[in-house]
Amino acid sequence: MRSSISNQQASPHRGERRLGRQDSPEWFKATCAQFQDATGWSLEFVPVESGGNHQETSCWTAEITNGQWRLGFLKLGLPDTPAKDSEFLAVTQLADLVAGLVNRVLQSNELLELRSRDIATLVRLSLSTPNEGSLLRTLQEILRACVQLTEFHGACFFLLDPKSNSLNIRGAYELDSTQVPYRKRDLSQIPPDLKVLTDGSVLLSRDQPDAAEWLPDGYSIGLGISVQSENVPLGTVWVFDRRRRTPNDRELQLLLSLGTHLAQILERVVLLRESATQHRLKRDLDQATEDDDDGIIEFDTPNGCDVVALCQSRYELGGDLCEIIKLNDSQTLIAVGDASGNSIPAAIVMTTVKGSLRALLPDIIRHRLTVEQAIERINIALHEITPAHRFMSFLCGILDTRKKTFQYSNAGHLAPLHVRNDQVQALNSHGLILGVHDGAKYGQSTLKLASHDQLIMFSDGIIEAQNHDNDLFGNEGVIRSIAGKNLGAAMDTLNAIWHGYSLHIAGAEEADDRTLCVVKID
């Protein structure tokens, strides 16, 4: 009996490939030789590159594949004598078994190689430490891995912009970004990316209703993968294939891993950017405060008075203002203020007022402006420059040691205390805080001073400081700190008040900027 059997069952391979090093025919030859020694029938492997008709002079053939590529065929040669025909059925069954084992070994080797390549790529990507400058190159590496480690033909990445609530394409591999439909995707229009961000992944097929418009021309399917960090969406990765098929589990897991890795890289770059910004801000803030370690401010004051001040911020920068400016041999301008808020926003308001005051100094020195007129102009400037919720209390006055007077105007600041012997009197207030109403008018007062009189000025960080029982330090705390004490110099008075303040808060958190200024008349 002479017959021919072809055992070419359908396999999942993608085409034909020549034998590589991992598919070395040496062990094929050894297996075929052992088969012939055991059965007496000739078994031969025919690689695809040999060409020709593999069924010539053969009575049985079987396809050899590694699951990805067709490598060739095993063929069973016709026996030399008809006497062996009776063994045909048993021999072909044994040949089927050998072909199945060979295919299983080759497919296992191919799978192992794929897994090794996948792991090597993921490890290489995970070991990379991209900075902001290399982010685009790293993104391209990940998109390339999305294609090379799977059977997809192209990939792209959309980055989420929370401000515009949209996704914008930021990279593509093996296809031009202009080929991708809707390169800017508004989430309010409910693109498929919205479902990707919600569900983790979405498969689009051209035969689905409304899916074709989201696929590049010539592509049949698209798989979207969410890129997110701890439930915070960052974007989407899309991979495309020209064939209509369902991605396998391996591809899906690989793409999910790559999406997670991309999220980690984006998060790392953001953290590096934030860290650099924080370092820069800290350096700038350190430079801005490098001459103000203890808060004690030294002044050049005229003869006939002693002035000392302390100004400390809760943070690196603050909104308290304390200016002591010598105008001439007998006159000194004293200004104390407190801007709304804390830190940099308050410092901006304070700097605006301080700059405006400095700009008006020439007219104040030449007596072209009184203190109330100066405050009115500063108020207009602050109102025009800053938003409505930014304002500042401000007191400005001119101390004249020759006339022994203090002419001042108070725009909603805490009333200074005038101390004479054992008597304490709060000074007047003349109008609204600065920056609220550009048409505000301010008055002024003149205080007659005597030798040994003291003026004590402060911000609410001193007066409104609370202890653990939520009791305020208040004016009473200031008066209590200096009562009955023989205080010779302005610094003695400042130290006594600061000591009383420190005892009052007793380790409680300092919740505001703190300014304390003491003037003593000789």
Give 228 or 272, the one with higher predicted confidence.
228
**What percent of the chain clears pLDDT 70, i.e. is strictly above it?**
83
pLDDT at 343: 83
pLDDT level of residue 164 (50, 70, 90 thresholds): confident
Q: Is the pLDDT of residue 381 over 90?
A: yes
Q: pLDDT tens digits, residue range 427-475?
A: 988 889 999 999 999 999 999 999 999 999 999 999 999 888 888 999 9
The domain 296-521 having CATH identifier 1.10.3720.10: the answer here is no
pLDDT at 39: 87
Mean pLDDT throughout 68-88? 79
Query: Could you count the other beta carbons within 10 Å of the beta carbon of residue 147?
Result: 18
pLDDT at 2: 44
Q: Is the pLDDT of residue 126 over 70?
A: no
Kindly state the tokens that stand for 106.
């080759």
Domain regions of the chain by residue span? 5-123, 132-278, 296-521
Alpha helices by DSSP H, listed for 173-289, are 192-199, 249-289
**What percent of the chain clears pLDDT 90, i.e. is strictly above it?**
45
Mean pLDDT throughout 393-407? 95
Please give the helix or strand (H or E) that residue 515 lies within, else none. strand 514-521
Mean pLDDT throughout 383-395? 89
């990279």: which residue's tokens? 171
pLDDT at 287: 58
Look at domain 132-278 and name its CATH class: alpha beta
Mean pLDDT throughout 495-522? 88
Q: pLDDT tens digits, residue range 292-331?
A: 555 677 667 778 888 999 988 887 778 899 999 999 989 9
pLDDT at 18: 52
What residues contact 169, with CB distance under 8 A and at least 6 apart? 156, 157, 158, 159, 177, 180, 183, 184
The angle subtended at Cα 433 by Cα 432 and Cα 439, nearest 5°, is 55
What residues contact 269, with CB distance under 8 A and at least 6 apart? 130, 131, 132, 135
What residues contact 333, with CB distance under 8 A and at least 6 apart? 323, 324, 325, 327, 361, 364, 396, 397, 398, 399
Residue 174: C-alpha distances to residues 15, 141, 152, 236, 239 (Å): 21, 12, 10, 17, 10
Equal CATH topology for 132-278 and 296-521: no
Start-to-end CA span in the chain (Å): 136
Q: Which amino acid is at 378?
A: I
